[in-house]
Structure 1
């Protein structure tokens, strides 16, 4: 990704609110970047290269609970809508239980693993 591409992503997909206590974690920012790439038919770079490109572009980060966090950043635009729609779990979705496995040992007892 070239410098102009990372700047275009940041310009199109985030705003900075200096006095905001909110922000984006790295996973959310990278997910937003993936959405931006898919919508723009761009090939995404690996997360480590993205992390470096964002740092070089001047976006400040902190750590919260040991995770990289970008205070003051907020998602905007088309990529934000795409990211939210495709990454937020559906409320009330049911988890499908994993069926128990029947284990038969030769010359031994039959047991069930779940």
Structure 2
């Protein structure tokens, strides 16, 4: 994945939201990315390579108030990939 592709994914699918929302969990972030790749006919990177690409883009996980690691605070999913991810991940 190129940095241009990661930038496009972030632009299409992530917005900053500094409300009291708990943030975006790392597993959901990857699921959103896989949905975005599917909608855009891209081959997704493995999870570990995707997380490395996010770190290179300046995004880091933090602990949330409950001590859970792996949360991107202040970020929320949006757009068609968010809808696809939510619809396909519900039971």
TM-score, normalisation: structure 1: 0.72
1:20–1:58 CA distance, 2 compared to 1 (3 A): farther
Higher relative CO (Cα under 8 Å, sequence separation at least 6) belongs to 2
Larger Rg: 1
Give the conservation status (yes or no) of the 8 Å contact 2:61–2:69.
no
The separation in 2 between residues aligned to 1:37 and 1:43, in whole angstroms, is 6
Runs of 5+ consecutive residues of structure 2 not aligned to the other structure: none
Runs of 5+ consecutive residues of structure 1 not aligned to the other structure: 90-114
The separation in 1 between residues aligned to 2:43 and 2:81, in whole angstroms, is 15
Give the conservation status (yes or no) of the 8 Å contact 1:20–1:71.
no
Deviation at 1:13? 0.3
Corresponding residue for 1:62? 62
- State which drifts further: 52-61 or 36-45: 52-61
Which of structure 1's runs of 4+ aligned residues deviate more than 6 A?
none
* Count of residues paired in the alignment: 89
The Cα RMSD (Å) is: 1.4
TM-score, normalisation: structure 2: 0.89
The equivalent position to 1:84 in structure 2, one of 40, 62, 86, is 86
- Whichever structure has more helix as a proportion of its residues is 2
1:2-13 correspondence runs (5 A): 2-13=2-13
Deviation at 1:22? 2.3
- Whichever structure has more strand as a proportion of its residues is 1
